[in-house]
């Protein structure tokens, strides 16, 4: 009985660590905006400090509906409303959606890797590449991404801008190969494998470690402005 209690406490503690690392302090939906037909969905890269959204809105001179949730996985997950559900919630509020700015898929790798890395996504001295299980995990998210994008197209969404993930520094640098693989799959899902009009924004090589918060995951406000500046030239013609 004692060992069971200790095991439960360890698992609960690990979950709390994961929750803090992925930034599970999701802001509430913002469902009233100047442009009700433009929405943002995604995870804490957008949601935690809110600077990407604020910067894009300042450039546009108008606000967008915001459904991003820190800790969100692409589909499912226990920490926050998943990205595909965020989209469903946005449609339930107002189905007239023309443009979507989003990210997603990173937490599907980061959350298990932060806990016990059961998929073997971290590279080690004895494993120079992500394991076969990790590749399978990434491929599953690719399927989820294509499914979501095709649903958006079927629903009449005109354009999607999908922000990828930058390299993580320091303690998470050994996730670089897994995240690179994820970016490659997301880019292919966005621009090749779907019926949707989707533009993939690849931020790799643009965010130095000094512009990543001490959790080795989230962008500082300066990095968020850099990310917004990469999104804006793609988004502006769509507004």
Residue with tokens 């059961």: 118
Report pLDDT for 3: 42
| Averaged pLDDT for residues 215-228 | 97
Is the pLDDT reported for residue 188 higher than 80? yes
Report pLDDT for 22: 55
Report pLDDT for 10: 37
State the virtual CA torsion across 12, 104, 143, 122 in degrees, nearest 10. Answer: -60
Confidence tier at 8 by pLDDT (50, 70, 90): very low
What would the pLDDT profile of 100-156 be if each residue is shown by its tens digit?
A: 999 999 999 999 998 899 999 999 999 999 999 999 999 999 999 999 999 999 999
Report pLDDT for 199: 98
Assigned token pair, 31: 């469902």
Assigned token pair, 117: 């890395």
Report pLDDT for 78: 82
Cα torsion 101, 84, 146, 204: sign? positive
- Of the CA atoms within 13 Å of residue 106, those in its CB half-sphere come to 27
Confidence tier at 17 by pLDDT (50, 70, 90): very low
Calpha distance 122→109 (Å, rounded): 10
Query: What are the boundaries of each domain within the chain?
Result: 2-238
Cβ atoms 198, 101 nearer than 8 A: no
Q: What is the DSSP letter of 203?
A: -
Average pLDDT for the chain = 91
Report pLDDT for 83: 98
What are residue 189's phi and psi, to 5 degrees?
A: -60, -45
- Bridge partners of 161, per DSSP, are 101, 199
Top-level class of domain 2-238: alpha beta
Calpha distance 143→187 (Å, rounded): 12
Q: Which of 90, 37, 93, 83 is nearest to 62 (CA)?
A: 37
Report pLDDT for 135: 98
């Amino acid at each position: 009985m004692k060992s069971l209690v200790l095991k439960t406490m360890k698992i609960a503690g690990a979950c709390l660590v994961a929750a803090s690392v992925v930034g599970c302090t999701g802001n509430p939906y913002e469902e009233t905006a100047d442009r009700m037909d433009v929405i943002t969905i995604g995870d804490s890269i957008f949601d935690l400090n809110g600077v990407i959204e604020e910067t894009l809105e300042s450039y546009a001179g108008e606000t967008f509906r915001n459904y991003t949730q820190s800790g969100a996985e692409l589909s499912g997950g226990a920490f926050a409303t998943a990205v595909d559900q965020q989209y469903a919630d946005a449609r339930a509020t107002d189905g007239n959606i023309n443009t979507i700015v989003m990210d997603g898929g990173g937490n599907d790798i980061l959350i298990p890797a932060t806990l016990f890395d059961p998929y073997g996504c971290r590279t080690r001295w004895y494993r120079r590449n992500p394991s076969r299980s990790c590749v399978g995990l990434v491929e599953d998210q690719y399927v989820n991404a294509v499914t979501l994008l095709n649903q958006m197209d079927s629903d009449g969404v005109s354009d999607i801008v999908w922000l990828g993930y930058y390299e993580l520094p320091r303690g998470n640098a050994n996730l670089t190969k897994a995240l690179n693989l994820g970016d490659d799959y997301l880019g292919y899902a966005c621009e090749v494998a779907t019926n949707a009009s989707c533009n993939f924004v690849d931020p790799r090589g643009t965010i130095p470690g000094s512009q990543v918060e001490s959790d080795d995951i989230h962008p500082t406000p300066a990095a968020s402005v850099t990310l917004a500046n990469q999104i804006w030239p793609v988004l502006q013609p769509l507004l």
